[in-house]
Amino acid sequence: MRQRIRSRLTFASVMSLAVLFVVLVATAFATTKTRTYTSGKLSRPIVDNSLFVSRIKVPDRGKVKDVNVSVRLNHTNDGDVFLALVSPAGKTVNLTSDNGDGGANFGTGPNNCHGTPTIFDDQAATSIADPGALPPFAGSFIPEEPLSQFRGQAHGIWSLVVGDDNTPDTGTLGCWKLTIKRRT
C-alpha cells in the first residue's frame, strides 16, 4: 500500500512539474509588442465648468501588459483640470484631478503632438498628486489611480475625459496618445 501511495505521489509531482515547465517556457517565449495610438492635433477648447470626451480607436488585439497615456494641454490653472481614461470595456481610471495648485499646463513646448507631454505611467518615480510635482508637469508621473487596472483590455474605443471644474480659467487640449504594450 505504501508503495502505491509513493508512486502516485511521484506521478502527481512529476505531472505538476511538467505543467509548470510548459507554462514557464510559454511565458519565456511569449513576445510583446508596444504600439502608440494618437489623437493627432486637436486644438480642442477646455471651457469652464464643463467636460468633453476625445476618442482613439485601437484596432489591435492581444492581452494588455501595460498602458501609458501622454497628454499635451495648455490651461491657465491646472488646479481646475481633471483627466480620466475610459477603456473599451467601460473601466475608468482617474489620471489627475485638481492638481497643480494654480500652475499652468500639462507639458511644455508646442501644444500639439510634438510638444513635451505629461506622461501618466504606473512605473514613474513621482505621483501627479505629490505636492512636490508642479506644473507644467513635463515628463512622467504616476496617475492618481493605477493604469494596471486596464490589463487585459485593449481592442476598441478608448476615451479621454477632459474637464474644467472652476472659473475663470480655460485651456486647450492639443494632443493625447495611448501607448499599449501587449502580449502577442
Find cell 484631478 and name the residue: 97
Find cell 485593449 and name the residue: 154
pTM of the entire predicted model = 0.82
pLDDT, averaged across the chain? 87
Q: Check the CA dihedral 111-116-121-126 and report its sign.
A: negative
- Residue 171 phi, psi dihedral angles, 5° rounding: -165, -165
Q: What percent of the chain has pLDDT over 90?
A: 72
Residues 56 and 84 reside in one and the same domain: yes
Residues 40 and 92 reside in one and the same domain: yes
Please give the distance of CA 12 from its chain centroid, rounded to a whole number.
Answer: 42
Task: Summarize pLDDT for 7-31 with one digit per residue, the tens.
Answer: 455 655 545 554 444 444 444 455 8
| pLDDT at position 115 | 93
- The tally of domains found in the chain comes to 2
Strands 118-120 and 139-141: parallel
Beta strands in the chain (DSSP E): 32-38, 44-46, 50-58, 63-75, 81-86, 92-97, 118-120, 139-141, 156-164, 171-183
Residue 47, classed as helix, strand or coil, is coil
Residue 4's domain comprises 1-30
Residues 23 and 36 reside in one and the same domain: no
Greater confidence, 153 or 86? 86
Domain of 81, CATH number, reads: 2.60.120.260
pLDDT of residue 167 exceeding 90: no
